[in-house]
Amino acid sequence: MEKGGEQKQAVRRSRGGRNTKIHAVADAKGRLLSILLTGGEAHDCPPAPRLIRRTKAARKLLGDMAYDSTELRQWPKDRGTKVVVPNRSNRTQPFRFKAYKQRHRIGN
């Protein structure tokens, strides 16, 4: 293997061993618009703006609790996108939203 081979791939060591995490943006019909691979230990928030920037502004941005950050909520809002992300349990000022029913598509 080439020197630093793991560094050039999206395979990293995490609690479960060596694995990869898939970050993706899909439209309302579940079609992939943007995809990014990172090491398994990567957090979800840092790659999110990079993925979202690759797509045109949508009316709603649905995400799971891992995407609950003030910065990640503000940036799409500035683009005219309503952010539908559940609040983490430690958020001092929770956000309100109504479109949570549609969030099941993320897991699918």
Q: In the chain, where are the structural domains located?
A: 5-107
What is the structure's pLDDT at 102? Answer: 60
Could you give the CA distance from residue 72 to residue 81 in angstroms, rounded to a whole number? Answer: 11
- Whether 8 shows a pLDDT value over 70: the answer reads no
Q: 24 or 3: whose pLDDT is higher?
A: 24
What is the structure's pLDDT at 1? Answer: 47
Q: Is 38 exposed, middle or buried (0-12, 13-18, 19+ CB in 10 A)?
A: middle
Strand partners, 42: none
Q: 6 or 21: whose pLDDT is higher?
A: 21
What is the structure's pLDDT at 43? Answer: 83
Identity of residue 89 = S
Name the token pair of 2.
Answer: 């080439």
Mean pLDDT throughout 67-80?
A: 84
Mean pLDDT taken over the chain: 77
Mean pLDDT throughout 66-81?
A: 84
What is the structure's pLDDT at 15? Answer: 62
pTM above 0.85, yes or no: no
Are 84 and 97 contacting, i.e. CB atoms less than 8 angstroms apart? yes
Could you give the CA distance from residue 61 to residue 81 in angstroms, rounded to a whole number? Answer: 7
Mean pLDDT throughout 4-26?
A: 68
